[in-house]
Every structure is written in structure tokens, then in C-alpha cells.
Amino acid sequence: MTSIAVLGVGAVGARVARQVLSSESSIDVVLRDERAARLDTVARSLGEGARIDTGTYAEPLDVDVVVLAGPPGTHLEPARRFVAAGIAVVSVSDEITEVRALLDLDVEARERGVTVAVGTGFAPGMSCVLAAHAASRFDSVDEIHVAKVGTGGPACARQHHRALRGRALDWRDHGWAQRPAGSGRELCWFPDPVGAEDCYRAALPDGLLLVPAFPGVGRVTARMAATRRDRLTARLPMLWPSHPEGGPGAIRVEVRGRRGTSRDVRVLGVMDRPAVAAGAVAALTATWATQGRLRRAGAAGLAELVDPAPFLSELRRRGVRAAVFQHDAGPAPL
Amino acid sequence: MKMLRRALVALGIAGAIAAVLRVRGTGGVPPQGGGWQELTDDAL
């Protein structure tokens, strides 16, 4: 029997466990969380196939794949230990320094022949798969621009708050440029019913995952939607308690590239509740890891690790549906 | 002292203008045509 451990059963982790159990009858799930009451509630809601492990995040486990779904900042040490034990790791972290540190595990993971899938949530995660799929239509990719709106659970909301006061990383002219988070306002048009949102630079890790996947790309940027209140209060502690789960969210990925002698742009997106979509992406990544369908060993984002078309097709079957912006599909909704 | 007061007033005005620009900014241009269509299995 194949086993997947889910470490952290918040809004995303609980969805990961549910997705795995509902779609793969041959996989059982081990749940870990520091909150015993939450762990018990989630395990009971999942029924048979899920069992509780009361160890800490970094304690050894006898499983095939570990999904790190705890709050950002808790992923690195468990990832190191499980890679050292030869166990594949799937992390949903979207914290920029943690993503960089997880990518630094690449050499050790390659040596041990295990995969560390980094940034496997909504954005990064789904955004990386959309970028890879859009890029497959081009001979070479010049620019990738990612924008997202919405948050999952409370940990995601706190990370959204922190990202607006950090430093954004833009890949520009084949080098990194740091810009103040909250700058670079841009009106981005997301799939319906989200529609248009003002988006700003933020401390987002998408570039760190996309640049290695597209050698020669000239520009990679990531923005996220924010309200005026978000931007004004970004440098303060969160003034209101986080909501249990955010509302609808969306991703927009714009890829510019060359095909033959012409240049073109392709815009893909998805609209869903971020925690639900993130859970589906991480669960499918973990399932593919157990089946040996990830492209290589080592630490990388999903743009490098998965074949985007079958991955998106399987996500579509699970209810996470991608969309393409057609420039000639009639007037845009206002 | 007078110079210091003028400098502080100037800094205050500049800060207020910067805050207004940060909050209000300028809007973008929405797409003038087109729309989102679901990616079907055939399109994938």
C-alpha cells in the first residue's frame, strides 16, 4: 500500500488529504499537525484511509511522499530530514526565502534520487503549470507575468499581508531586480466572475521557480491583488483576525514568446477557491510522485516537474478548470 | 529655526502627496475586447 503523509491539516492540508483519498483508493494518508483538536476533527471527517500520527513535523515517517502543508516557515527542516531519508517531498510554501532554501536542496535530492516539488499550491503551483502549458505553444519564451487574487486559510492570509511589506523579485534582462512590494500597480483581468483587480508587486516566489524552467526568458514578474487598506496597513501587524477561509480567487498567467518569425502572447487563468485549488494541485503532485510521473529528481517547481497538458486535464476532471483569454471572443464583460 | 520649520512643512507636504499618489495612483486600461473560455481536453 502506498502512503502519503500530510503535515499540517489547515485549509490546504485537509483538502490535500481529501483529494488523495477520494481519487486514489490504493493510497492511505497519514496526518500530522501540532493542533490535536484540529487533527482529530479532520481525521474523523476523512473516515477510513486516514490515520493520525502525533509526531512533530520533522520526526521520521515510513511513507512514500510527504506533503508539507503547514504554515510558511515550517517546511525547510522537515524537507531536509525527509530528503535525507530518501522520501519525496511536496511543499506548498509560498514564502520567498523558504522557497529559495527548498530549491537549494536540489543537489542533495538529485544525489539521493528523490524529488522535492516546491511551490505546489495555487500560486505558485497552478501558476507554474499554466506558464508551462502556455509556453508549450512557443519556440522560445520572452516574458512571463503572473498575477493572483485571493487567499486560502488564515496562514495564507498572513503570508499575503507579509508579502506586501517585503521586497519583490523581478527577473529583468536576465538578472534579478528588487522592487518595493506594493509598487507597480497594474490592472489585471482575471477569469469571471473575479474580473478586473488592481495588482501590485509583492514578495512572491514565482520568479524563483519559473526562471530555471525557461532558460533564456528575459522578464518574469509576479503581482498580487491588494486593496488600499491592504497596502496602507501592510507594515502594521494584522489589525483583524484572519478569516477561516477566503472567497473566490484567481490566477492570470501571461506568456509572451516567439513562434517561427512572429511574436505572440498567450494568457491563461483559473478561478477557484485558492485553498481548494491548492489542495488539488498538491494532491495530484503527490500522487504523480508515488507513480514516478514527475520528470526528474531534485528540487524544482511544477513548470519543470510535470507535463502540463495531462496535469491540467486531470485537474479539470477534479473540478479545477483552466481558461484561456481569447482576444477575438467578443467584448469583454464590464 | 525658521528654516527647520519650513523643511518640516515641506517634508509633510511631500509625504501627504506621496500618500495620495500611493493610494490613488493611476488606473490601467482594461481589455477592449475578447473574453475567457474554458480550456477543454481538446484544447489541452
The pLDDT tens digits for A61-80 are: 999 999 999 998 999 999 99
Would you tell me which CATH number, out of the four given (2.40.50.1070, 3.40.50.970, 3.40.50.720, 3.30.450.20), belongs to the domain A2-121+277-314?
A: 3.40.50.720
pLDDT digits (tens, 9 = 90+) for A268-286: 999 999 999 999 999 999 9
| ipTM of the prediction | 0.78
Q: What is the pLDDT of residue A332?
A: 46
CB contact under 8 A, B23 and A309: no
CB contact under 8 A, B28 and A313: no
Give the mean pLDDT of B1-18: 89
Who wins on pLDDT, B14 or A244? B14
Other CB atoms within 10 Å distance of the CB of residue A184: 15
Q: Does A269 touch chain B (CB under 8 A)?
A: yes
CB nearest to A187's CB, from B30, B34, B36: B30
Query: Which of chain A's residues have a Cβ under 8 Å away from the Cβ of B25?
Result: 185, 198
Q: What is the pLDDT of residue A29?
A: 95
Question: Which residue of A190, A326, A334 is the best one to mutate when testing the B interface, meaning the one whose CB has the most B CBs within 10 A?
Answer: A326
Least confident of A55-59, A102-106, A117-121: A55-59
CB contact under 8 A, B35 and A316: no
Q: For B25, which residue in chain A has the nearest alpha carbon?
A: A185
Confidence of residue A192 (pLDDT cuts 50, 70, 90): confident
CB nearest to A321's CB, from B30, B31, B38: B38
Confidence of residue A86 (pLDDT cuts 50, 70, 90): very high
Q: What is the pLDDT of residue B23?
A: 65
Q: What is the pLDDT of residue A269?
A: 96
Give the mean pLDDT of A115-137: 96
Does the pLDDT of residue A333 top 70, yes or no?
Answer: no
Give the mean pLDDT of A99-109: 97
Does the pLDDT of residue A295 top 70, yes or no?
Answer: yes
Does the pLDDT of residue A122 top 90, yes or no?
Answer: yes
Q: What is the pLDDT of residue A103?
A: 97
Q: How far is CA A120 from the centre of its chain?
A: 4
Give the mean pLDDT of B4-11: 92
Does the pLDDT of residue A171 top 90, yes or no?
Answer: yes
Burial of A3 (0-12, 13-18, 19+ CB in 10 A): middle
All structural domains of chain A with their residue ranges: 2-121+277-314, 126-274
Q: For A329, which residue in chain B has the nearest alpha carbon?
A: B34
Q: What CATH architecture is A126-274?
A: 2-Layer Sandwich (3.30)
Q: For A182, which residue in chain B has the nearest alpha carbon?
A: B22
Give A301 to chain B, closest Cα distance, Å: 20
Q: What is the pLDDT of residue B26?
A: 56
Does the pLDDT of residue A136 top 70, yes or no?
Answer: yes
Who wins on pLDDT, B20 or A94? A94
Who wins on pLDDT, A327 or A46? A46
Q: What is the pLDDT of residue A334?
A: 40
Residue B13's SS3 state is helix
Question: Which residue of A165, A197, A306, A325 is the best one to mutate when testing the B interface, meaning the one whose CB has the most B CBs within 10 A?
Answer: A325
Q: Does A333 touch chain B (CB under 8 A)?
A: yes
Confidence of residue A166 (pLDDT cuts 50, 70, 90): confident
Query: Which of chain A's residues have a Cβ under 8 Å away from the Cβ of B43?
Result: 324
CA distance linking residue A302 with residue A189, whole number of Å? 24
pLDDT digits (tens, 9 = 90+) for A196-212: 999 999 999 999 999 99
CB contact under 8 A, A187 and B28: yes
CB contact under 8 A, B30 and A196: yes
Give A267 to chain B, closest Cα distance, Å: 9
Give the mean pLDDT of A211-235: 90
Average pLDDT over chain A, rounded to whole?
92
Return all residues near A278 (Cβ < 8 A) that are at least 6 apart: A12, A15, A92, A120, A121, A122, A125, A126, A152
Least confident of A132-136, A152-156, A158-162: A152-156
Tell me the pTM. 0.88
Question: Which residue of A314, A327, A334 is the best one to mutate when testing the B interface, meaning the one whose CB has the most B CBs within 10 A?
Answer: A327
Give A74 to chain B, closest Cα distance, Å: 34
CB contact under 8 A, A323 and B38: yes
